[in-house]
Chain A
């Protein structure tokens, strides 16, 4: 009996091998290297001349005003984009879940932004958000409202990015919500109707609870994705005006690949990576995920 299981598990290892190899080459080894580099003054142009400097990079980064600012910026982004994006996704899913003519058209329309590259989306939105000739200010003016500076304002720039990011990402979560919605058996709704439940009661007591596993999965992935914000500020504002849209990932990229300070960039990566893991664990504890069954 024992030899059969061990033969089976040997086989399992062989199947696991390609994934393990790739993970090791592209995740574990680079992660370990980053930890080592974060303790050095590694400059990209002088790889051989790097010196071990202990925790100096870590001490610097907690006093680095741009890094701290980038953390505040991404916190603002996460706090606003999460409810907006997930809420819009749920709303869209509810709309297209009903069977009516033209449904496929709406599904495709809502999903289309997800398929388009983020860089392309960002460039398109640059036109929409242009303060002097953009579509958005045109609409505002038509409604009798004054033009807004949008991306050129340190106060509004991040909100503009939040808006377009939610628009861009919601289609994907809509599809997942839709799958969740279609998994709810119709009998439950029918039973509720017999008991005299109204639309809102059905939504509140059937749809929402039944969607819980789906919602948790969506919240977690959106949360992690939101922390990785880089493309929109990189393309649209280069982190400006006055660092109002710089994010940690963008700052890490800039420090490592433009300024060539790979040691310092590695230290930021480690701190930021650990912080995201901690936040995710806390989030899952608070929302009650991580149990035996809905851990997916």
Chain B
């Protein structure tokens, strides 16, 4: 009799599994050479989503080859899941769309796993696209992804607090004549003495990817790097004298009390700190919620040896899946979406930094002074993040290195620390 019990269960099982398999049929793959399916990581209701809808309508109307594009909006959830979960599931079932969006740091991993294919030959007017955007999408000398917007970071400063501390307008740095680390520390010292508080929130309590994104420019300014240009060696690069000097600078900032590893929440926004290192997104926050803070943005401090201005960049991009059956249509869609008119519409909708020189000129006429400054700094000094297959591990080791450098009592010897950290990064390189 036992057999029949299992028989019942087995039959029920088989039918249930069969049912679930039926409903899990893929909904993504293209239905022909002329139809392009695309996945994006934001919702239809976002400003970005609304701009995308307009762009897609324009593409479907204007292209002369008879291509049709369809978009599926898959918002990212809080921790960045949602969209990425969907991509990962699609990888398993081989149901990726023809075109997808991906974050800058994913370029190398996606290209290395042959999920996406080069798109360079489909993109027109490439010289107009910012170098940082081209670098971000390039892996093994081929352009795999193309960014449609940029991001940037600057030193926000409180104008009233600066003048009350006796810092003259004429002492402030400009893009043409940025401040060196020494000059930056001198001003920090005066602010610290005046307000008896750290001069700047450098977001050192953020141990996420923000760390490499916002602090690596100090290293690049000094002429240092995480790895060699092929991305195969970290020892000798991440612990070069140049890289070490940047981490020494960060350590000195903490050691002197000019910045802190545990900043007060919204310290700059509420007038407790005179400066903050932050991205373009903070402009909207300040303009909407902290209207009484009179602020401006100053350029990145530079290495006193090189005096080379370098600033962070990077954002989401478009790429074409390797599995697409409609490469020409997909290429035409990507080219259309990153063309001047469409990029302008997307970037203005969201007030983000543009990825083309021509769009930068157009946008500068429409945005406020802090935003104009970041657009200028981006064009002049933007540097893409390292394009590495194991970027998550490398960026985390970078953040860990920053943390360790800021614990100056435990790690007084920067050269010794960097040697160990370079070896840690080395294990993640291929």
Chain A residues near B (Cβ < 8 Å): 6, 9-10, 13-14, 17, 20-21, 24-25, 43-49, 127, 130-133, 149, 151-152, 237-238, 240-242, 258-260
Q: Is the CB–CB distance between A241 and B113 below 8 Å? A: no
Tell me if B414 counts as interface (CB < 8 A to partner A): no
* Closest A residue to B1 using CB positions: A6
Report 6 cross-chain contacts, Cβ distance below 8 Å, ordered by A residue.
A44-B88, A45-B88, A237-B207, A242-B407, A258-B396, A259-B393
Q: Which of A10, A21, A237 is close to B4, meaning CB atoms less than 8 Å apart? A: A10
* Closest A residue to B197 using CB positions: A132
Q: State in angstroms the CA–CA spacing of A43 and B110 once bound together.
A: 11
Q: Is the CB–CB distance between A259 and B392 below 8 Å? A: yes
Q: Is the CB–CB distance between B13 and A45 below 8 Å? A: no
Q: State in angstroms the CA–CA spacing of A152 and B403 once bound together.
A: 10
A-B pairs with beta carbons under 8 A, tally: 71
Q: Is the CB–CB distance between B392 and A14 below 8 Å? A: no
Tell me if B265 counts as interface (CB < 8 A to partner A): yes
Q: Is the CB–CB distance between A260 and B262 below 8 Å? A: no
Tell me if B12 counts as interface (CB < 8 A to partner A): yes
- Which residues of the other chain, B, contact A9 by a CB distance below 8 angstroms? 5
- Which residues of the other chain, B, contact A45 by a CB distance below 8 angstroms? 88, 91, 109-110, 112-113, 115
Q: State in angstroms the CA–CA spacing of A14 and B392 once bound together.
A: 48
Q: Is the CB–CB distance between B404 and A47 below 8 Å? A: no
Q: Is the CB–CB distance between B5 and A130 below 8 Å? A: no
Tell me if B208 counts as interface (CB < 8 A to partner A): yes
Q: How far is the CB of A14 from chain B (nearest CB, A)?
A: 7
- Which residues of the other chain, A, contact B163 by a CB distance below 8 angstroms? none
Q: Which of A13, A44, A131, A240 is close to B207, meaning CB atoms less than 8 Å apart? A: A240
- Which residues of the other chain, A, contact B208 by a CB distance below 8 angstroms? 238
Q: Which of B9, B88, B110, B404 is close to A20, meaning CB atoms less than 8 Å apart? A: B9
Q: Is the CB–CB distance between A133 and B264 below 8 Å? A: yes
Tell me if B16 counts as interface (CB < 8 A to partner A): yes
**Which 4 residue pairs across A and B have the least CB separation, nearest first?**
A45-B113, A46-B113, A131-B262, A238-B207
The A-contacting residues of B in range 13-30, CB under 8 angstroms, are: 13, 16-17
Tell me if B261 counts as interface (CB < 8 A to partner A): yes
Q: Is the CB–CB distance between B263 and A132 below 8 Å? A: yes
Tell me if B170 counts as interface (CB < 8 A to partner A): no
Q: Is the CB–CB distance between B92 and A47 below 8 Å? A: yes
Q: State in angstroms the CA–CA spacing of A130 and B260 once bound together.
A: 12
Q: State in angstroms the CA–CA spacing of A6 and B7 once bound together.
A: 13
Q: Is the CB–CB distance between B9 and A17 below 8 Å? A: yes
Q: Produce 1/0 per residue, B85-113, CB < 8 A to A.
A: 00010011010000000000000011011
Additional A-B contacts beyond A46-B91, A237-B207 (20; CB < 8 A): A10-B5, A10-B8, A14-B12, A17-B8, A17-B12, A21-B16, A45-B91, A45-B109, A45-B115, A46-B114, A48-B94, A130-B262, A130-B265, A132-B262, A133-B264, A240-B400, A242-B400, A242-B407, A258-B396, A259-B390
- Which residues of the other chain, A, contact B13 by a CB distance below 8 angstroms? 21, 24
- Which residues of the other chain, A, contact B1 by a CB distance below 8 angstroms? 6
Q: Is the CB–CB distance between B5 and A258 below 8 Å? A: no
B4, B94, B113, B261: most-surrounded residue (chain A CB, <10 A): B113
- Which residues of the other chain, B, contact A127 by a CB distance below 8 angstroms? 265
Q: State in angstroms the CA–CA spacing of A259 and B392 once bound together.
A: 6
* Closest A residue to B205 using CB positions: A152
Q: How far is the CB of B97 from chain A (nearest CB, A)?
A: 16
Q: How far is the CB of B102 from chain A (nearest CB, A)?
A: 11
- Which residues of the other chain, B, contact A259 by a CB distance below 8 angstroms? 390, 392-393
